[in-house]
């Protein structure tokens, strides 16, 4: 029944990202007060918690957007320090932000290749001329493999539905990620059917052996697609469990502080 029991890999892959005792304060607001979390290859690790619990801040630390005040980030066994999101991306960490970060007027292809455009070979390439055909082909191919529900990759993103836009953002992360995909509430704004399509994409990432960190508010979704779940409460880790060992009551109780 449970997806992870089908593959038998719940939390058994090698650790690809370790957050150790991460602390972060914004002025007097202590967003993170010493959070530790390990993300393994081939797992969907859900992070849940009430509004303001520190979920997005934790993700931004892992993405190189926010610099922690204390603690350690380790990727593939080595301590890393990210000066910018580019540093995180360089070692294979891609992020789907809550606002998606899509350029609405440009095509799916342009959004997938943003900042990583492919130039032609030879003299034209040196002049900065783009190889649009190659980028379009590779995007179509990737969308097909990842089952992104977009048929025409040359359509401007603003013409797409919410679920399709989400699909483009996730596919972009999947295409460039080498080891880790971080997702911040990817289905918060979606309807039931669109949510199902995004859930399929996330499962697809797991089967490709990525480590997936999934921030979500949606208890049924987390119970359905995650392998492990960590609950944050007031900037602290209120517990990490195998998803197969918990139910909705445990999650909700942990979120509001019932377990001690």
Where along the sequence are the contacts to other proteins (CB under 8 A)? 85-86, 89, 97, 99, 101-106, 110-111, 114-117, 119, 127-130, 158-159
Q: Which is nearer to other proteins, 113 or 210 (CB)?
A: 113
Residues 211-250 that bind ligand ADP (CB under 6 A): none
One residue of 4, 38, 56, 136 binding Mg ion per CB under 5 A: 56
Contact 234, 31 (CB under 8 A): no
CB-based burial, 214-248: b 16+ in 10 Å, e otherwise: bbbebbebbbebbbbbbbbbebbbbbbeebeebee
Radius of gyration (C-alpha) of the chain in whole angstroms: 19
101 binds ligand ADP (CB under 6 A): no
Contacts of 14 (CB under 8 A, 6+ apart): 40, 41
Contacts of 186 (CB under 8 A, 6+ apart): 96, 166, 169, 170, 198, 202, 214, 216
Cβ at position 197, least distance to Mg ion in Å: 22
53 binds, among ligand ADP, Mg ion, other proteins, none (CB under 5 to 8 A by kind): ligand ADP
Angle subtended by helix axes 162-176 and 132-146, to nearest 10: 110
Angle subtended by helix axes 162-176 and 192-207, to nearest 10: 10
One residue of 29, 103, 188, 252 binding ligand ADP per CB under 6 A: 29
Cβ at position 130, least distance to other proteins in Å: 6
Burial, 203: exposed, middle or buried (Cβ in 10 Å; 0-12, 13-18, 19+)?
middle
Q: Which is nearer to other proteins, 1 or 83 (CB)?
A: 83
Pairing of strands 78-80, 70-75: antiparallel
Q: Which is nearer to other proteins, 116 or 259 (CB)?
A: 116
Cβ at position 92, least distance to other proteins in Å: 14
One residue of 17, 31, 135, 229 binding ligand ADP per CB under 6 A: 31
Cβ at position 101, least distance to other proteins in Å: 4
d(CA 24, CA 33) in angstroms, rounded, equals: 7
Cβ at position 29, least distance to ligand ADP in Å: 5
Q: Binders of ligand ADP: how many residues, by CB under 6 A?
A: 11
28 binds ligand ADP (CB under 6 A): no
49 binds ligand ADP (CB under 6 A): yes
d(CA 254, CA 245) in angstroms, rounded, equals: 14
Among 23-31, 174-182, 190-198, 223-231, the segment contacting ligand ADP (CB under 6 A): 23-31
Please give the residue ranges that form the binding site for Mg ion (CB under 5 A).
Answer: 56
Footprint on this chain of ligand ADP (rule: CB under 6 A): 26, 29, 31, 49, 51-57
């Amino acid at each position: 029944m449970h997806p992870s029991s089908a593959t038998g890999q719940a939390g058994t892959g090698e650790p690809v990202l370790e957050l150790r005792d991460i602390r972060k304060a914004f002025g007097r607001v202590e967003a993170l007060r010493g959070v530790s979390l390990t993300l393994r290859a081939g797992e969907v690790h859900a992070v849940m918690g009430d509004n303001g619990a520190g979920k997005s801040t934790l993700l931004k630390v892992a993405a190189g957007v926010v610099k922690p005040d204390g603690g350690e980030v380790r990727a593939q066994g080595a301590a890393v320090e990210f000066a910018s999101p580019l540093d995180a991306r360089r070692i294979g960490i891609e992020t789907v932000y809550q606002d998606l970060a899509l350029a609405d007027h440009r095509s799916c292809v342009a959004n997938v290749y943003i900042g990583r455009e492919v130039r032609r070979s030879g003299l034209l390439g040196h002049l900065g001329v783009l190889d649009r055909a190659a980028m379009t082909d590779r995007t179509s191919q990737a969308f097909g493999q990842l089952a992104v529900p977009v048929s025409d990759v040359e359509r401007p993103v603003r013409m797409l539905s919410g679920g399709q836009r989400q699909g483009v953002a996730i596919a972009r992360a999947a295409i460039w990620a080498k080891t880790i995909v971080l997702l911040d509430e990817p289905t918060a704004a979606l309807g039931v059917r669109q949510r199902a399509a995004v859930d399929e994409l996330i499962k697809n990432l797991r089967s490709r052996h990525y480590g997936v960190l999934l921030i979500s508010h949606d208890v049924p979704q987390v119970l359905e697609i995650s392998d492990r779940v960590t609950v944050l409460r007031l900037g602290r880790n209120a517990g990490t469990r195998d998803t197969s060992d918990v139910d909705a009551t445990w999650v909700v109780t942990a979120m509001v502080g019932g377990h001690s």
